[in-house]
Amino acid sequence: MALSLKELSKLDQTFAPGHRLCAGCAESIIVRQVLMAAGDPVVVANATGCLEVATSIYPFTSWRVSWIHSAFENAASTISGVETAYRSLVKQGKMEDVGMKFIVFGGDGATYDIGLQFLSGALERGHRFLYVCLNNEAYMNTGIQRSGSTPRGTWTTTSPVGEAIVGKREYPKDMTAIVAAHGIPYVAQAVPSQWRDLMTKVQKAIAANGPTFINVLSSCNRGWRHDTSQTIAVSKLATDTCVWAIYEIDHGVWKLNYKPKKKKPITEWFESQGRFSHLLRPENHALVEQLQEKVDKDWKALLEKCGEKT
């Protein structure tokens, strides 16, 4: 399928409007892009979280595809069972092979933390599915609690800002690297602001013979504390400051997909969101310097892996 706006506008929408996600939520944007790129027929497994809650309030649904709600932790196991059953029925001649695709949507809580062992097991077994992490960097559905994806220094309701601590104390896990260590065919990072890049990655992932994973930064204006109109702008700023790198690992080959002409300082990222406002105070200058050094170090390491000039 050609990824042109003209052609995409002709497609039937398999993710219906009228859902109850917050205004400005990036998740609905990402899901639409993923489903358009994947095409029918498709089965979606959805971990508990904002996306599931807001799109399946009985008796309504926003899903125009086969959709299964799993618990927080086991969406990868659920899609593994569906994918295995499909292969078995086709092999037995009880079902025609229609080229069914299998996709999981899970938040960072369900991916980085609660469901990590379930995802790891599904990757190790080699089931053919695409796992999309809607990474809004906290447990937004249950009240903006910190997760394994939350950046160091971030304000959340469980990493408050005060005299004792200045937001979250720990750096986030590198979940993309953890998944890549499983040796699966395709792993990538993306943002909704670069829609063609994300949709191209979905097509590559769907075509791969085995499990695949795309980690998508998904702005949450309620938790990140920015205006609802700034979702796409904030996503782009993440790539321009290199706090969220856009790259892919295709059958073991690392490739950088976006390199800003002029890398912006991390302070611009902090200025765009209220969850970081405390970091701009003079007394937190040393912490900001440490965070900038970490971004610079990680960016340099990525450039080297991708064979780019540092």
What range defines the domain where residue 252 resides?
5-305
Q: Is 242 helix (H, G, I), strand (E, B) or coil?
A: coil
> In the sheet that 247-250 helps form, which strands lie side by side, from edge to edge?
66-69, 42-46, 101-107, 130-135, 212-217, 186-190, 247-250, 253-256
Mean predicted confidence (pLDDT) in 21-39: 97
Kindly state whether residue 107 falls inside one of the protein's structural domains: yes
Tokens of 294: 């970490």
- pLDDT tens for each residue of 116-174: 999 999 999 999 999 999 999 999 999 999 999 999 999 999 999 998 999 999 999 99
Per-residue confidence band for 310, with pLDDT thresholds at 50, 70 and 90: confident
Kindly state whether residue 132 falls inside one of the protein's structural domains: yes
In a 13 Å sphere around the CA of 204, the CA atoms on its Cβ side amount to: 18
Q: Is 30 helix (H, G, I), strand (E, B) or coil?
A: helix
- pLDDT tens for each residue of 212-252: 999 999 999 999 999 999 999 999 999 999 999 999 999 99
Mean predicted confidence (pLDDT) in 52-68: 96
Kindly state whether residue 310 falls inside one of the protein's structural domains: no
Kindly state whether residue 207 falls inside one of the protein's structural domains: yes
Kindly state whether residue 80 falls inside one of the protein's structural domains: yes
Count up the domains in the chain and report the number.
1
Contact between residue 245 and residue 190 where contact means Cβ atoms under 8 Å apart: no
Tokens of 286: 């040393």
Per-residue confidence band for 4, with pLDDT thresholds at 50, 70 and 90: confident
Place of tokens 């999309």: 132
Angle at 74 between CA 14 and CA 175, to 5 degrees: 90
CATH assignment of the domain containing 18: 3.40.50.970
Instruction: Indicate whether 1 pLDDT > 80.
Output: no
Kindly state whether residue 270 falls inside one of the protein's structural domains: yes
- Expressed in percent and rounded to 5, the helix, strand and coil fractions of the chain are 40, 15, 45
Instruction: Indicate whether 3 pLDDT > 90.
Output: no
Kindly state whether residue 158 falls inside one of the protein's structural domains: yes
Kindly state whether residue 57 falls inside one of the protein's structural domains: yes
Contact between residue 102 and residue 76 where contact means Cβ atoms under 8 Å apart: no
| Beta strand spans in the chain (E) | 42-46, 66-69, 101-107, 130-135, 186-190, 212-217, 247-250, 253-256
Mean predicted confidence (pLDDT) in 99-126: 98
Mean predicted confidence (pLDDT) in 164-191: 97
pTM of the full structure: 0.97
CA 18 from chain centre, in angstroms, equals: 22
Sign of CA dihedral 4, 130, 44, 221: negative
